[in-house]
Amino acid sequence: MELFETGNVVKVCAPMVRYSKLAFRSLVRNYDCDLCFTPMIIAADFVRSAKARDSELTTNNSDQPLIVQFAAKDAQTLANAACMVAPFSNGVDLNCGCPQRWAMAEGYGACLINKPQLVKDMVRHVKNQVDKPNYAVSIKIRVHKDVKKTVDLCQKAEAAGVSWITVHGRTADERHQPVHYDAIKTIKDSLCIPVIANGDIKTLRDVESIHELTGVDGVMSARGLLANPALFAGYEYTPLQCVWDWVDISLKHGTPFTCFHHHLIYMLERITSQPERKVFNGLSSTSAVIDYLHNTYGSL
């Protein structure tokens, strides 16, 4: 992908269940986000059901570049799903990092890091069957306790033609432990393709320091962007302009109230007092939220 050829660190919005949908992607793109992922979509459901396709993937002409992330456990299903989304996206990503029990019990997510041959087959099938030049096929992984196993997985995926690899620098068992940036550096040093680092990116300074520490080609943020969608533009906290941009975008997209409200709860968390948060979190309509914002912060 041309993004990786500029020499700049590529700034990426992570795939987040319920959160990294079109409206939020539109918002972060206004604030220096270079590349966005959809939330994880189960490939088998997507292929089988038109209803799933309509509800899981919404995009538009300005939602570019876009990577559609799938959970899959067999190569042909992933390839079928990729062929369906190729006209509307710039690539697909195979989720090999979701640590949730249900996903791993179904054969999805982080259990795939222990099945390098299957990952290799899935990458190859997509590369061979999607008829679109420069269409990306990436994987998003977690690290093993033994980094040599992770390097082996990544080298096999590279040999199969994977476009880049996103590395969340924790094992499948780790949640809030420190990120293993040393493991990410080892992986980057072992590959010729681009590597994106994921884990605890909360400020633009984090982006720069992790790039220097690991040599990665890009950084991906999840919770950091939820708390501050303007993170990549260098803001320490969510600026008021960004809050009102979210209101405008949400109204334009018809974002359901729960999603609209939850994003604002995240954005305002660091700039409101506990009593203010209690009041705001209890609001139950879009009009009540907008009135509260006007009364508390005023218009721009």
Q: What is the mean pLDDT of the chain?
A: 96
Q: How far apart are CA 33 and CA 131, in angstroms?
A: 28
Going from the C-alpha of 2 to that of each of 52, 83, 194, the distances in angstroms are 31, 21, 11
Return the percentage of the chain with pLDDT > 70, whole number: 100
What pLDDT was estimated at residue 117?
Answer: 97
Segment 145-174 shows an average pLDDT of 97
pLDDT tens digits along 40-79: 999 999 999 999 999 999 999 999 999 999 999 999 999 9
State residue 2's pLDDT score: 82
Q: Which residue has the higher pLDDT, 2 or 80?
A: 80
The residue assigned the tokens 């509307």 is 88
Output the pLDDT for position 7.
Answer: 85
Q: Which of 74, 51, 77, 58 is nearest to 20 (CA)?
A: 58
95 and 182 together in one domain: yes
CA torsion angle for 147, 149, 151, 156 (degrees, to 10)? -170
Mean pLDDT of 218-244: 97
CA atoms of 3 and 164, how far apart (whole Å):
12
Partners of 166 in beta bridges: 140, 196
pLDDT of residue 282: 96
Tokens 């538009």 sit on residue: 60
Looking at the DSSP bridge assignments, the partners of residue 138 are: 93, 164
User: Is residue 1 scored above 80 in pLDDT?
Assistant: no
Q: How many domains is the chain built from?
A: 2
Which of these three, 233, 252, 287, is where a domain ends? 233
- Least confident range of 146-155, 189-198, 269-278, 291-300: 291-300
Convert the pLDDT of each residue in 11-38 to its tens digit. Answer: 999 999 999 999 999 999 999 999 999 9
Residue 146 and residue 55 share a domain: yes
Compute the average pLDDT of residues 78-83. Answer: 98
Catalytic-residue membership of 96: no
Are 155 and 248 found together in one domain? no
Catalytic residue (one of 98, 111, 154, 242): 98
Element (H, E) at 297: helix 286-297
- Residue 74's CATH number: 3.20.20.70
What element of type H or E holds 275?
A: helix 274-281
What DSSP designation does 218 have? E
Q: Are residues 256 and 116 located together in one domain of the fold?
A: no
Indicate whether 164 and 284 sit together in one domain: no
On whether the CB atoms of residues 125 and 76 are closer than 8 A, the answer is yes
pLDDT at 5: 86
Same domain, 150 and 57: yes
Q: Look up tokens 């979190």; give the residue.
A: 281
Residue-by-residue DSSP string for 198-266: ES---SHHHHHHHHHHH--SEEEESHHHHH-TTGGGT-SS--HHHHHHHHHHHHHHT--HHHHHHHHHH
Last residue of some domain: 203, 233, 263? 233
192 and 268 in a single domain? The answer is no
197 and 283 assigned to the same domain? no
Whether 229 and 244 map to the same domain: the answer is no
Statement: the pTM of the whole predicted model exceeds 0.85: yes
Clarify whether residues 188 and 278 are in a common domain.
no
Which structural domain range is residue 141 located in? 2-233
pLDDT confidence bin for 144, thresholds 50/70/90: very high
Provide the strand spans (E) within the chain. Answer: 10-13, 35-37, 41-42, 66-71, 91-96, 136-142, 164-168, 195-198, 218-221
Structure confidence at residue 200 as a pLDDT band (50, 70, 90): very high
Q: What is the pLDDT of residue 300?
A: 61
- Are 213 and 245 within one domain? no
* pLDDT greater than 80 at residue 299: no
Write phi, then psi, for 216 (nearest 5 degrees).
-65, 165
- Six token digits for residue 206: 């984090």
Domain boundary among 209, 233, 257: 233
51 contacts: CB under 8 Å, gap ≥ 6? none
> At residue 197, does pLDDT exceed 70?
yes
Tell whether 226 and 279 lie within a shared domain. no
